[in-house]
Amino acid sequence: MNWFTLGTDYGSSRTRSFSEIFPTFNEFYDYWNETTFSKQANRVSNIIPEGGFMAPSNLALIYELLLSRYANSTIAASDENRFKLQCMALIFQYAPAWIKSIELQHYLHEINLSGDEWLRGSSQIFNQSYNPSEDPGTDSMDTLSTINQQSVNIQKRDRFKALAILEELLKTDITNSFLNKFKKLFRVIVAPQRPLFYVTEELEDV
């Protein structure tokens, strides 16, 4: 008696993989544009330059990162529509902060260590004005425009202490933390395929 299962040489899975559901970026991008998440992101794009956080270039980067991590991973949901919406919801929730963190890291990498600007600490300025005959009144939160006396406290960091602070600000796991948000959408068992059965020789009756 021969036993066999349908599927590839490695067995067949009950659910499809990420690369099977979104084989190209265009399909990924088209689905994003169909969701309410895209419409809400487009509202933000009107006040944020260069297409906002969800510009096509950023979505292309997210797609390729997801493909590099989860291309052959099968999804944990039987309903693919649920998986797609959950994926887009996570992008809408976490991608803007991740993209801004990448921009901040790029700014830190561009700091010129040979200059002195990065050594400056915080500054405190104390102004004092005597008997001004002008607004604002005593019940106002506005500041006075006249100054009779000013005291300034400027802090300067030691170079090695400033380097230590800069090193603490530099991060290498920002993207890894972002991609881990999607891990729950995929099956985590070792072998999700249906088993394959082989018969190598005919069994003889005893």
d(CA 135, CA 6): 84
Q: What is the pTM of this model?
A: 0.68
Tokens coding 47: 């006040």
Phi and psi at 129, nearest 5°, equal: -130, 135
d(CA 37, CA 42): 9
pLDDT over 80 (residue 64):
yes
Over residues 176-198, the pLDDT tens digits come to 999 999 999 998 665 555 555 55
d(CA 196, CA 200): 13
Tokens coding 58: 């950023």
Q: How many CB atoms lie within 10 A of CB 66?
A: 22
Q: Residue 101: which residues within 8 A CB-CB, separation 6 or more? A: 171, 174
Over residues 41-50, the pLDDT tens digits come to 766 544 444 4
